[in-house]
Amino acid sequence: MIYCRIIIAENSDIMLNGIVELLQSKPHIEITGKALRYNHLCSLIETAPHDLVILGPMIVEKYSYQLMGYLLNRFPDIKIVQVNLDDDEDIIFNKIQRVALSQVV
Domains in the chain, start-ordered, CATH in brackets?
Answer: 4-101 (3.40.50.2300)
DSSP H/E element including 45: helix 38-47
80-98: pLDDT as tens digits: 999 999 999 999 999 999 9
For strands 29-35 and 4-9, give the pairing. parallel
DSSP H/E element including 34: strand 29-35
15-66: pLDDT as tens digits: 999 999 999 989 999 999 999 988 899 999 999 999 999 999 999 888 877 8
What is the pTM for the complete model shown? 0.90
Q: Which residues does residue 52 pair with via DSSP β-bridges, in sequence order?
A: 6
Q: How far apart, in Å, are the Cα atoms of 97 and each of 3, 47, 70?
A: 9, 23, 23
